[in-house]
Structure 1
């Protein structure tokens, strides 16, 4: 046996041994997770027990990234542990996660990134349907888009919070890569029309003007729907993501055609319970102020005075004539932090209404 073959044989034996150790450790972790579930159920007989703890999982994933010894990147190591935790949590009962469908959308990709692949993802036709699915208890959590780095806020999501009792339990950011794709059976035909969602067309406008000028652009309800149509129609192409391409067996004519390489969409995780502090949190509120001079200053000044950083502020039309302004605000920290409680109490005294949408861990992955 040559030196090379001998060394490779030794390394493969070592890998086999390590695999056995990894398997035993994962099994031990799963058994421990099962015992946690049994302890919770015994302590709360006959009650709905929440096995998923967003703040706990965020703490674990942060620790994994901080303590990762390499050579795998910290982000990749955290993704591996995300899937281990997802599989362990599913041992008792897989979670049902509602998302803005259909199958193959970026929202589904965000749901799987946040919860792992051991959940049951449930596509819903509209954002309000996602809210209703979670409110009714048919889904444990929901995933909805809230803002894109190029196109701004998703107003329908913000408006739903005005009437919904649901809380924000988490966030996830997803880098959005758009591809121009066609069905393999129509690959040699001239493209006369392109299907996509209106936001995707907006995010790829410059590329389309340069490379597909004059080709008809047809707006559909989602990028997955665009891929489905293009898969069935000669002379058609779609702009969609990797999941849609894989789902409908499409070939890519051009990859990553978005105009901005940092194109990112932020998604919110919505649920029925409040989330405890994780140590690195964000909070969201809705505030309606009286229509008077200095109302916006009166709202923002306490945050500035107490040194609380605002990460987002948006104005939305009032759903009723009693609200002159409705402000959606994100700020750093947890609502139970002493300074945040002080600021919110001060705002509550002056506002027509203050609605606490929730505090949740800042996205780790």
Structure 2
């Protein structure tokens, strides 16, 4: 009969059963691949971003619809995350606690089936990966509003870890509390960067409320559980995990607010064809030194996407530059530019070539 849903629902049930059967068939192949990888190299990373990118690009390219192409990526992110967990545990260290934006970036990259290890500092993230207690680490590197995270840059000076990938995470700040009643709020807590990113909104809408800095946005949400007069600026995920009510969504001053995160590993990823290379170098103190440093990139047709300077901490007025360029160090033009620059540097370190965020 017209309007009868039962027939369509039965068809959906049949299709869902078939999807489940095929997922299990896919999983059997994944397990065999895991056995082969371990036989070839017991210490190899099971996560292969080049293969994952190829799968998603192929599926998006041949999608006839009506299933939206933009939904294919998150769906297959979870399928591949679950598949990797069958091959072996994927341990990911990150700047915790749960429900921080770093945690959200981890889930965007590795899905919900990875084993996440929250730690208390960026230094601890590096340490967990260096000691082999985690396969990967995820740390913030820069924000579109507040700029670079200097502590992360400093850690690369002495670390032997490589950059394995990057994640761009949209940062949307929400005001939340236990009761959800704005009139009850006497204090707002959050991480210093989150407060800075919402300063105009706070001064306009809650100018007389005390603002207090805490270790993380997630810690702020946790505090709200104990006192109805305290509000937190945190993520939507934090509201869900800590049972809070959102009083006002998206209070960040800049709606185009993103944080870039780096994925750390002891091993390099495979080349994908859409890669980025990061370098750390120190130049001789002379007139035109920075120009001479950048010229080989331009002459070899390489686009530079970032340059940041930091004091070297080893000699007064000596600076180390962190540079991101498009391309992989195995590409002839990139390798040629790096070789040209080496002779002009006091110090150079290649932090890795890795897939650019898609």
> TM-score scaled by structure 1?
0.94
The Cα shift of 1:67 comes to 2.9
Query: Does the aligned pair in 1 maintain the 2:177–2:228 contact within 8 Å?
Result: no
For the residue of structure 1 that corresponds to 2:165, the secondary structure is strand
Over the aligned positions, Cα root-mean-square deviation in angstroms equals 1.5
Q: In structure 1, what is the equivalent of residue 194 of structure 2?
A: 200
Question: Which of 272, 275, 294 is the equivalent residue of 2:288?
Answer: 294
Query: Does the aligned pair in 2 maintain the 1:290–1:325 contact within 8 Å?
Result: no
Measure the CA separation in 2 of the matches of 1:42 and 1:135: 23
Question: Which of 143, 148, 153 is the equivalent residue of 1:153?
Answer: 148
For the residue of structure 1 that corresponds to 2:184, the secondary structure is coil
Q: In structure 1, what is the equivalent of residue 2 of structure 2?
A: 3
Q: In structure 2, what is the equivalent of residue 252 of structure 1?
A: 246
Q: In structure 1, what is the equivalent of residue 335 of structure 2?
A: 341
Measure the CA separation in 1 of the matches of 2:343 and 2:31: 46
Q: In structure 1, what is the equivalent of residue 16 of structure 2?
A: 19
Q: In structure 1, what is the equivalent of residue 177 of structure 2?
A: 182
Report how many aligned residue pairs link the two structures.
358
Measure the CA separation in 2 of the matches of 1:130 and 1:59: 29
Matched, 1:124 2:119: yes
Q: In structure 2, what is the equivalent of residue 76 of structure 1?
A: 71
Q: In structure 1, what is the equivalent of residue 133 of structure 2?
A: 138
Measure the CA separation in 2 of the matches of 1:157 and 1:204: 23
Measure the CA separation in 2 of the matches of 1:84 and 1:165: 32
Q: In structure 2, what is the equivalent of residue 272 of structure 1?
A: 266
Question: Which of 298, 303, 328 is the equivalent residue of 1:309?
Answer: 303
Query: Does the aligned pair in 2 maintain the 1:54–1:169 contact within 8 Å?
Result: no
Measure the CA separation in 2 of the matches of 1:297 and 1:75: 42
Query: Does the aligned pair in 2 maintain the 1:90–1:119 contact within 8 Å?
Result: yes
Query: Does the aligned pair in 1 maintain the 2:278–2:324 contact within 8 Å?
Result: yes
Matched, 1:94 2:93: no
Measure the CA separation in 2 of the matches of 1:322 and 1:24: 64
The Cα shift of 1:322 comes to 8.0
- Post-superposition CA distance 1:148-196 (Å, at most 9, x none): 1111111111111111100000111111110111112x74762111001
The Cα shift of 1:13 comes to 2.2
The Cα shift of 1:73 comes to 2.8
- Residues 1:17 and 1:234: Cα distance change in structure 2 (over 3 Å): closer
Q: How does 1:49-64 map to 2 (within 5 A)?
A: 49-64=44-59
The Cα shift of 1:321 comes to 1.2
The Cα shift of 1:52 comes to 1.3
Measure the CA separation in 1 of the matches of 2:65 and 2:202: 41
The Cα shift of 1:69 comes to 2.7
Unaligned runs of 5+ in 1: none
- Post-superposition CA distance 1:16-53 (Å, at most 9, x none): 22112211221111111111111222334xx3232111
- Post-superposition CA distance 1:237-284 (Å, at most 9, x none): 110001211121111110110111111111110000012210111111
Q: In structure 2, what is the equivalent of residue 231 of structure 1?
A: 225
Query: Does the aligned pair in 1 maintain the 2:182–2:247 contact within 8 Å?
Result: no
The Cα shift of 1:210 comes to 0.9
Measure the CA separation in 1 of the matches of 2:15 and 2:191: 46
> TM-score scaled by structure 2?
0.96
For the residue of structure 2 that corresponds to 1:68, the secondary structure is coil
Q: How does 1:42-53 map to 2 (within 5 A)?
A: 42-44=39-41, 47-53=42-48
Unaligned runs of 5+ in 2: none
- Post-superposition CA distance 1:272-326 (Å, at most 9, x none): 0012210111111101111111111011011111110111110111121188221
